[in-house]
């Protein structure tokens, strides 16, 4: 055989396993890749098939292809052969699924003919059944031919022809030769001719080199030359179902309905189960997906990083003259392949890659939590808010640090689309906690007053006096900045976040849980504290901690959220102490309640 110089050492083993039906998904993907990209491997494959078919024992069980003969045992026309090799869905043979017939020298030619006819009919029925099942699946394949299936069917035909009589072989060999020529010609035509394989789903401030103007909804074709995304973000949906987000600057090529080459830059890929096998190639590696979410970054020096967030994937490094190394990665792993092909472990970066973006709102999500302190600071939860922001439960946003209002009425907050409203909690009468009239039935009685406005990331010492330092600190850690955000809610105070409005900002992202820590800050005052913390969903108590009397201690809270939960309410109350007039005599004295790093946990809604 010829062409061994650039063929993987495992190539012959893959071919044998393919013929025997024992090939694994990973081996099949590698074989398919070599067949499409390696001309020497393609030539070697056909030489191998010819030799394999010729050496097979005539008396041995062998699969008979249904592609060469019609119901009258007549050779199919070239048009019929042409149609057969263009199925709606690619099908890889499974071990033990191929039926067999036996060559018996004692049978008459008529009996042999009838046996072949019966077998062909059975195979045709099985093929149609597979096609019917496949047609029930999502239609994400491209309109072209699947070359791996073509090779598979021609392989079966080659094996079978090598075992039949001269009469049968001559009748079909001509068609097979013509078929191979047509199929290979079409394959190479397809390789060098642009055809549609994906759709540009959406973009944000995207600009391509060469004044290329691509708009949302535009169909994309296979590319000979790379595209250079100079600015912005784009989201591409491949015809076989994979979704890829690319972030500028990035140079890439679309190669097929399930393959992209990333030369430089970074991408995030979401691959549903029905699109498994999606492949990302880099200058020194190849990633084959097994139903995952992963990110890939390629540096100018050729270094490639793979970060696997869910599922599994195989990573094959290109080591130049040496055999490439193939690894299977699972969720939470990350690898780096340097320019020489050397692979090493690296820490996974969960917030490195853009996973969702929205051109209408400019919302860009990299896997972060949605910070409620940032939202209270007039932001979108991802760091766009201000620090040192104060909101009064009656008057709304204001510069004042203190609150003089009374009464437990609910006050909507029109100035922030993500905050429904605020209130001073007092269970002495019905307590409403949302614009939809949800009631906090368990609200305790309070003095009905609020001492200080709610502070979103207040600066340190802002509430300092000659009797307190105003430092918001727990276990030596300062809070009130972007790295360690907080909302200060001195009792009595309630704030309701509109989960529905937040979902509308990022509709493809799931809010799964509210998490935070809470405690009473120690401002080094002489009096003690006694306060309650509450977390409500649509007015119902999900978590609470009552009568906290120790300062400088944080308590964790985690509340699961469903897609139907509308409002999240955080409440602090005064612990029902006796309320007396005078300094440090009020029921809410020193109740400097703080929600530390309050956040909504998010995950992609594509799962």
Query: Do the Cβ atoms of 366 and 268 come closer than 8 Å?
Result: no
Q: Which pLDDT does position 31 carry in this prediction?
A: 79
Q: Is the peptide bond before 437 cis (omega within 30 degrees of 0)?
A: no
Report d(CA 195, CA 220) in Å as an integer: 8
Strand partners, 468: 465
Nearest in space to 515 (alpha carbons), one of 371, 419, 366: 371
What does the DSSP 8-state code read for residue 71?
Answer: T
Question: Do 317 and 403 have their domain in common?
Answer: no
Report d(CA 134, CA 468) in Å as an integer: 72
pLDDT digits (tens, 9 = 90+) for 147-202: 555 555 555 555 554 454 444 444 444 445 555 555 555 555 555 556 899 999 99
Question: Do 184 and 207 have their domain in common?
Answer: no
Nearest in space to 441 (alpha carbons), one of 457, 455, 430: 430
Q: Which pLDDT does position 396 carry in this prediction?
A: 96
Q: Which pLDDT does position 577 carry in this prediction?
A: 87
Query: What is the DSSP annotation of 521-567?
Result: -----SS---EEEEEEETTEEEEEEEEE--SS--EEEEEE--TT--E
Question: Do 143 and 206 have their domain in common?
Answer: no
φ/ψ of residue 368, rounded to 5: -75, 165
Q: Which pLDDT does position 312 carry in this prediction?
A: 94
Burial level of 331, CB count in 10 A (0-12/13-18/19+)?
middle
Q: Would you call 230 helix, strand, or coil by DSSP? A: strand
Q: Is the peptide bond before 492 cis (omega within 30 degrees of 0)?
A: yes
Give the count of alpha carbons within 13 A of 246, CB side only.
Answer: 30
Rounded to 10 degrees, the C-alpha dihedral 471/472/478/481 comes to -110
**Chain mean position to CA 361:** 21
Residue whose token pair is 């029109």:
414
Could you tell me if residue 290 is inside a domain?
yes
Strand partners, 596: 486, 517
Per-residue buried b or exposed e for 288-315, using 16+ beta carbons within 10 Å of the residue's own CB: bbbbbbbbbbbbeebbbbbbbbbbbbbb
Q: Which pLDDT does position 582 carry in this prediction?
A: 79
Question: Do 179 and 201 have their domain in common?
Answer: no
Q: Which pLDDT does position 36 carry in this prediction?
A: 72
Question: Do 530 and 388 have their domain in common?
Answer: yes
pTM score: 0.68
Could you tell me if residue 599 is inside a domain?
yes
Angle at 450 between CA 445 and CA 455, to 5 degrees: 130
Q: How far is CA 595 from CA 58, 122, 474, in A?
A: 80, 69, 11
Question: Do 112 and 226 have their domain in common?
Answer: no
Count, residues in the chain: 607
Query: Do the Cβ atoms of 289 and 278 come closer than 8 Å?
Result: yes
Report d(CA 236, CA 242) in Å as an integer: 8
Final residue belonging to a domain, choices 192, 209, 230: 192
Question: Do 300 and 416 have their domain in common?
Answer: no
Report d(CA 360, CA 205) in Å as an integer: 11
Per-residue buried b or exposed e for 19-56, using 16+ beta carbons within 10 Å of the residue's own CB: beeebeeebbbbbbbbbbebeebbebbbebbeebbeee
Could you tell me if residue 184 is inside a domain?
yes
What does the DSSP 8-state code read for residue 439?
Answer: B
Cβ contacts of 37 within 8 Å, gap of 6 or more:
none
Report d(CA 356, CA 354) in Å as an integer: 6
φ/ψ of residue 169, rounded to 5: -60, -45
Domain count, the chain: 3
Question: Do 520 and 449 have their domain in common?
Answer: yes
Low-confidence ranges of the chain (pLDDT < 70): 1-5, 19-21, 46-194, 319-324, 605-607
Could you tell me if residue 208 is inside a domain?
yes
Nearest in space to 94 (alpha carbons), one of 152, 137, 39: 152
Report d(CA 176, CA 89) in Å as an integer: 22
Final residue belonging to a domain, choices 143, 166, 192: 192
Q: Which pLDDT does position 156 carry in this prediction?
A: 56
Domain with 492 in it: 368-604
Tokens coding 165: 């009589």
Report d(CA 124, CA 96) in Å as an integer: 17
Report d(CA 447, CA 577) in Å as an integer: 9
Residue whose token pair is 């069917």:
153
Could you tell me if residue 353 is inside a domain?
no
Residue whose token pair is 């020193």:
590
Final residue belonging to a domain, choices 192, 209, 238: 192
Rounded to 10 degrees, the C-alpha dihedral 190/193/197/198 comes to 160
Question: Do 118 and 100 have their domain in common?
Answer: yes
Report d(CA 503, CA 87) in Å as an integer: 42
Q: Which pLDDT does position 75 carry in this prediction?
A: 47
Question: Do 431 and 543 have their domain in common?
Answer: yes
Question: Do 181 and 147 have their domain in common?
Answer: yes
């Amino acid at each position: 055989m010829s062409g061994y110089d650039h063929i993987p050492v495992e190539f012959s083993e893959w071919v044998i396993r393919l013929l025997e039906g024992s090939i694994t998904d990973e081996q099949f993907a590698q074989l398919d890749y070599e067949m499409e990209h390696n001309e020497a491997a393609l030539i070697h494959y056909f030489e191998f098939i010819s030799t394999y078919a010729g050496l097979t024992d005539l008396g041995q069980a062998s699969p008979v292809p249904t592609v060469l003969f019609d119901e009258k045992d007549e050779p199919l026309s070239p048009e019929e052969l042409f149609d057969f090799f263009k199925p709606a869905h690619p099908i890889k043979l499974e071990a033990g699924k191929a039926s067999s017939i036996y060559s018996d020298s004692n049978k008459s030619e008529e009996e042999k003919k009838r046996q072949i006819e019966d077998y062909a009919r059975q195979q045709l029925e099985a093929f149609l059944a597979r096609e019917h099942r496949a047609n029930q699946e999502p239609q994400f394949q491209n309109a072209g031919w699947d070359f791996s299936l073509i090779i598979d069917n021609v392989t079966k035909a080659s094996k079978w022809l090598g075992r039949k009589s001269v009469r049968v072989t001559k009748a079909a060999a001509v068609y097979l030769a013509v078929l191979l020529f047509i199929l290979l010609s079409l394959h190479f035509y397809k390789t060098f001719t642009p055809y549609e394989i994906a759709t540009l789903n959406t973009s944000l401030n995207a600009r391509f080199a060469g004044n290329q103007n691509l708009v949302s909804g535009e169909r994309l074709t296979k590319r000979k030359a790379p595209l250079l995304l100079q600015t912005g973000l784009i989201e591409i949906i491949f015809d076989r179902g994979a979704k890829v987000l690319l972030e500028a600057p990035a140079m890439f090529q679309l190669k097929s309905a399930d393959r992209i080459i990333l030369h430089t830059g970074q991408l995030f890929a979401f691959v549903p189960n029905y699109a498994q096998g999606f492949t990302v190639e880099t200058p020194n590696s190849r990633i084959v997906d097994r139903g995952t979410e992963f990110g890939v970054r390629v540096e100018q020096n050729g270094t490639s990083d793979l970060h696997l967030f869910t599922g599994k994937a195989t990573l094959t490094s290109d080591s130049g003259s040496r055999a490439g190394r193939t690894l299977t990665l699972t969720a939470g792993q990350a690898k780096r392949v340097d320019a020489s092909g050397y692979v090493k472990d690296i820490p996974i970066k969960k917030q490195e890659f853009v996973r969702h973006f929205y051109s209408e709102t400019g919302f860009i999500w990299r896997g972060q939590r949605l910070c409620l302190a940032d939202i209270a600071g007039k932001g979108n939860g991802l760091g766009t808010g201000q620090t040192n922001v104060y909101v009064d439960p009656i008057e709304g946003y204001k510069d004042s640090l203190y609150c003089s209002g009374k009464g437990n009425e609910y006050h909507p907050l029109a100035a922030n689309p993500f905050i429904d409203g605020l209130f001073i909690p007092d269970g002495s009468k019905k307590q409403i906690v949302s614009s939809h009239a949800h009631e906090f039935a368990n609200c305790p009685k309070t003095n009905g007053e609020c001492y200080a406005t709610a502070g979103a990331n207040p600066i340190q010492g802002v509430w300092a006096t000659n009797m307190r330092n105003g430092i918001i600190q727990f276990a030596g850690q300062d809070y009130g900045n972007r790295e360690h955000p907080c909302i200060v809610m001195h009792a009595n105070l309630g704030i309701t976040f509109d989960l529905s409005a937040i979902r509308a900002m990022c509709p493809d992202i799931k809010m799964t849980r509210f998490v935070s820590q809470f405690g009473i800050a120690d401002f080094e005052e002489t009096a003690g504290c006694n306060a309650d913390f509450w977390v409500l969903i649509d007015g119902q108590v999900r978590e609470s901690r009552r009568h906290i009397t120790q300062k400088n201690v944080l308590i964790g809270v985690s509340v699961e959220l469903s897609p139907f939960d509308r409002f999240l309410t955080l409440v602090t109350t005064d612990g029902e102490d006796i309320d007396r007039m005078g300094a440090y005599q009020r029921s809410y004295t020193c109740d400097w309640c703080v929600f530390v790093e309050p956040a909504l946990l998010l995950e992609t809604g594509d799962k």
